[in-house]
Amino acid sequence: MARPGMDRYLARMNAPVAVPKPRKPDWIRVKAPTSEAYHSTRRLMRDLNLATVCEEAACPNIGECWTKKHATVMILGDTCTRACAFCNVKTGMPRAVDPLEPEHVATAAAELGLEHIVVTSVDRDDLPDGGASQFVKVIKALRKRTPSTTIEILTPDFRNKSEAAVEAIVDAGPDVYNHNLETVPRLYPTIRPGARYYASLRLLEGVKRKAPQIFTKSGVMVGLGEQRLEVHQVMDDMRSARVDFLTMGQYLQPTPRHAKVAEFVTPQAFDAYGAIARAKGFLLVAASPLTRSSYHAGDDFRKMQEARAAQLDRSNG
Ligand code: SF4
């Protein structure tokens, strides 16, 4: 007996389920960079042979930041010894450390007229100190060449390196020490396999213990499949390490080879995360879809200074 309705029903049920690729929502779209200031920042970085995380990580904010001449310099080359599932920086055996790099970073800061600079690096597990001494040289070169520029560093975890490596950086006296936890501990094996959550937390805690005047900062990406309560726990862990500043942004898949976006977190959900983080006692919180560790870093540094001054005023009376 013909049963066209039933056949259609069965065909529909047995058809492969097309899993819709999450479309980038409107709040993620950004304009392509076109300004003259953007191009001159780009030329300067090329001329000085400097890599930037803005380009290597395919950051969506590059048009806005470079137009304001705010670039995050990536030292120790453009090749990383790890292969995190979220990161677009190329992996492999890096080249030898460039001895001219510290001077070039200082020249970039001077020519761009930077009040605040963010310096980060690739992971250099191949170097005995993980590249810590190059951070020290960059900080010293900046202090000498542009003494009024405030310095923010965003470092790797220096896993399996001696504590002296991180201590040398802290002794060099950056204004802000940033190290990102990136995601919740449950997702480390897939997202950040070369790192250990508690080792990263200990690094942040150690920096604050050694130099309480240095602002500490850490960030997480959301949209990787984490649960809300897991994010709240990360906030608590950061507070127990006395982290001053939390940044939270949406994870974006840089290429099809990288971890997929599990969810586009709405701006309202970011606001809710921000409110909870503030209630947990961070000095400053930046939580929005396009927040990145170095986004608006100069303005945020001044906000942290003001927040700390206000806190001291309150505790003095
Ligand atoms: S947010 Fe940071 S990484 Fe992105 S373009 Fe701006 S400075 Fe560069």
C-alpha 293 – ligand 1 centre gap (Å)? 8
Instruction: Return the ligand 1 atom nearest residue 290 CA.
Output: 1
**Cβ(289)–Cβ(248) below 8 Å:** no
DSSP letter at 27 equals G
Mean pLDDT along residues 42-57: 92
What length is written for the chain?
A: 317
Question: What separation in angstroms does the CA of 226 have from each of 184, 188, 260?
Answer: 7, 11, 13
Is residue 258 helix, strand or coil? coil
Mean pLDDT along residues 10-24: 56
Rounded distance, CA 37 to CA 59, Å?
Answer: 17
| Residue in 31, 50, 62 to alter for ligand 1 test, most ligand atoms within 8 A of Cβ | 62
Mean pLDDT along residues 115-141: 96
Mean pLDDT along residues 41-49: 93
For atom 8 of ligand 1, the residue with the nearest CA is 54
Quickly state the pLDDT bin for 16 (edges 50, 70, 90). very low
Rounded distance, CA 247 to CA 221, Å?
Answer: 8
Is residue 34 scored above 90 in pLDDT? no
Which is higher by pLDDT, 14 or 180? Answer: 180
65 lines ligand 1 (CB under 6 A): yes
Instruction: Return the ligand 1 atom nearest residue 62 CA.
Output: 5
Rounded distance, CA 227 to CA 246, Å?
Answer: 18
For atom 1 of ligand 1, the residue with the nearest CA is 295
pLDDT of residue 18: 45
Rounded distance, CA 105 to CA 117, Å?
Answer: 10
Is residue 12 scored above 60 in pLDDT? no
Question: What separation in angstroms does the CA of 179 have from each of 12, 44, 167, 217?
Answer: 50, 27, 14, 6
Rounded distance, CA 93 to CA 288, Å?
Answer: 35
Quickly state the pLDDT bin for 6 (edges 50, 70, 90). low
Mean pLDDT along residues 292-305: 94
Mean pLDDT along residues 102-131: 95
Quickly state the pLDDT bin for 22 (edges 50, 70, 90). low
pLDDT above 90: percentage of residues in the chain: 79
pLDDT of residue 23: 77
Mean pLDDT along residues 296-308: 95
